A and B are shown apart, each in its own frame.
Chain A
């Protein structure tokens, strides 16, 4: 826990200073999780702000400070999911935009002499996000929380409010789908190199 239960309790009772302290303690972590889930750096702050706005208005429903972190992650998952759903409705091509933005970032980095490092990172991001496109938005978020954010099954159980076995099955299926896509991309890469 990054914040003491008393601060959470004060925030729950409407203390804005305590709420600010919570935001400052968690914002970087939430920004990171959202960045890795949605993959669009320009929208990360907006989604993170939405998470904290939802937290502000729902904090009085929190039963005990002990469940605060799963609660916050639950709000994060919901906000990220809402964002992805809106994007899908708009029919925007996420990967195309991302690549364009990564090119801009890589170009900017080139002038600072860090082009190689940034282009390597951009390549990783693009490859992993392309693989994650193979699973549904729900499974993508679940997979990122487990494999990238490093949350345990117990923590995920509290966030999703489903039992561990159901989560294991869902994770296994999502992982299998990503693995198949990964094997395909490796084969394509091999064929490209051979040609």
Chain B
């Protein structure tokens, strides 16, 4: 392992001699950089801060999960209600009236019956002749 090249430092910068190849210069540059940036000591707040972040993320995940559950439950309830409603509607359409009731309510049937009678009766002046 080579030692730091303090003799080549000018104005806080690095100045590698011509004797070094470019590759060597770069390797030296990174080595000096590693020395100039030692591993920082974690602060006293590191672990409490980390657990606070874990807890916050857990809470937000839980709340998102609750919202999702609530949304799915409401969607299911709505779907069920719509299904029940449409089934009832279908039942009412098919079986709500008897045949007689349906015929009574059907105006087109009545109109057709009167029309038939009107066609069958001869005109009053034809009758006198």
B30 x A23 contact (CB < 8 A): no
Say whether B66 faces chain A, with CB atoms less than 8 Å apart.
Answer: no
Of residues 1 through 42 on chain B, the ones whose CB sits less than 8 Å from some CB of chain A are: 6, 9-16, 22-23, 25-27, 29-30, 32-42
Identify which of B34, B40, B53 contacts A49 (C-beta below 8 A): B53
Q: Give every chain B residue within 8 A of A44 (Cβ-Cβ).
A: 40
- Name which residue of chain A comes closest to B38, CB basis: A32
Interface of A, helix, strand, loop or mixed by DSSP: helix
Nearest CB in chain A to that of B11: its residue: A123
CB-CB under 8 A from B53, the residues of chain A are 49-50, 53
Beta-carbon contact of B12 and A123 below 8 Å: yes
Residues of B within 8 A of A152 (CB): none
Interface string of A28-44 (1 = CB under 8 A from B): 11011001100001001
Chain B: interface size category: 35 or more
Min distance, Cβ A76 to any Cβ of chain B, angstroms: 13
* A61 at the binding interface (Cβ < 8 Å): no
Contact B57 A31 (CB under 8 A): no
What is the number of residues of chain A that contact chain B, defined by CB distance less than 8 Å? Answer: 41
Q: Give the interface segment out of A4-12, A64-72, A86-94, A177-185.
A: A177-185
Could you tell me if A122 and B12 are in contact, using CB atoms closer than 8 angstroms?
Answer: yes
Q: Is the CB of A119 within 8 A of B37?
A: no
List the 3 closest pairs (A to B, CB-CB), nearest first: A123-B12, A32-B39, A124-B36
Which B residues are closer than 8 A to A by beta carbons?
6, 9-16, 22-23, 25-27, 29-30, 32-43, 45-47, 49-50, 53-54, 57
